[in-house]
Amino acid sequence: MIDTHCHLLPQLDDGPSSAREALELAQALVDAGVRVVVCTPHYSRRYQTDHDLACGLLESMNGTLARAEVPLRAALAAEVSPARAVEAPAGELTRRRLGDRYLLVELEPDTPVGLVGIVRERLEKIGLTPVFAHPERCPAVRSQPHVLDSARESGALVQVVARSLTGGWGKATVSAAWRMLEAGRVDLLASDAHGARHAGDRLAGVLDLVSGRLGAGALVRLTEENPAKLLDRAPKPT
């Protein structure tokens, strides 16, 4: 699996509080089948993560993984809040991109549905394409899923996260996540892991569930083929 949404880097946001905890999370991801992870520290009003600091921590993390012989390769992007996606300077967003032209933008529980289009239009102006993270957690988008269809028609991608499929955010989120997956509205499945506790078991269980309900081919598309296309600077996944 290529995990395109994970809070692996320590002491940046609400992820691991130490390098030791980060290493434990990395091992849990490997145990679940992850071979490449994109570290996506929050970039929001609450977590104004310094990207240069994140770059240094990424280099340190990859060194730690190599010394510990944990077979995981880490890359760096960010999880950008809708407000930052609209307001932040173009350069700050561009340097936090995922692959060559994508930007991971979280849809929060209180995100208005109209922000989906506003974010897409703003990013288009600066040469970026949104990957909308966990829309299943956003009641406004859950009630109007056609906005995701419009966004995807213009090139945007949709990412569901593992915890949504296991009840971590309630029954409504579980139901919405599965509806989106079964309707073909999802391009990527990611861990959104913040710590080692239960992360590996949860992710492994979700991968089995998705394979069982949607088929092995769908799982490969969501966790390997489409993520690889993002990181390989390819056109929009199909």
Around 214, how many Cα atoms within 13 Å sit in the side-chain half-sphere? 24
Mean pLDDT value of segment 27-41: 97
154 in a domain, yes or no?
yes
237 in a domain, yes or no?
no
Q: Please give the sequence-ordered ranges of beta strands (E in DSSP) within the chain, or none if there are none.
A: 2-6, 36-39, 42-43, 73-76, 79-80, 102-106, 129-133, 157-161, 188-190
131 in a domain, yes or no?
yes
pLDDT at 234 over 50: no
Mean pLDDT value of segment 198-204: 82
Confidence of residue 237 (pLDDT cuts 50, 70, 90): very low
CB 40 within 8 A of CB 104: yes
pLDDT at 82 over 70: yes
* Residue keyed to tokens 């769908």: 218
pLDDT score recorded for residue 197: 79
pLDDT at 73 over 50: yes
Mean pLDDT value of segment 207-221: 97
- Give the mean pLDDT of the chain: 94
pLDDT score recorded for residue 235: 40
- CATH code assigned at 56: 3.20.20.140
CB 112 within 8 A of CB 135: no
106 in a domain, yes or no?
yes
- pLDDT digit string (tens) for 143-173? 999 999 999 999 999 999 999 998 878 999 9
* Residue keyed to tokens 């296991």: 166
Of 190, 194, 189, which Cα lies nearest the Cα of 25? 194
Mean pLDDT value of segment 190-194: 95
- pLDDT digit string (tens) for 85-95? 999 999 999 99
133 in a domain, yes or no?
yes
pLDDT score recorded for residue 168: 78
> Within a 10 A sphere around the Cβ of 234, how many other Cβ atoms?
12
Residue 146 tokens read as 């056609």
pLDDT at 56 over 90: yes
Segments forming the whole domain that contains residue 92: 2-231
Q: Count the domains in the chain.
A: 1
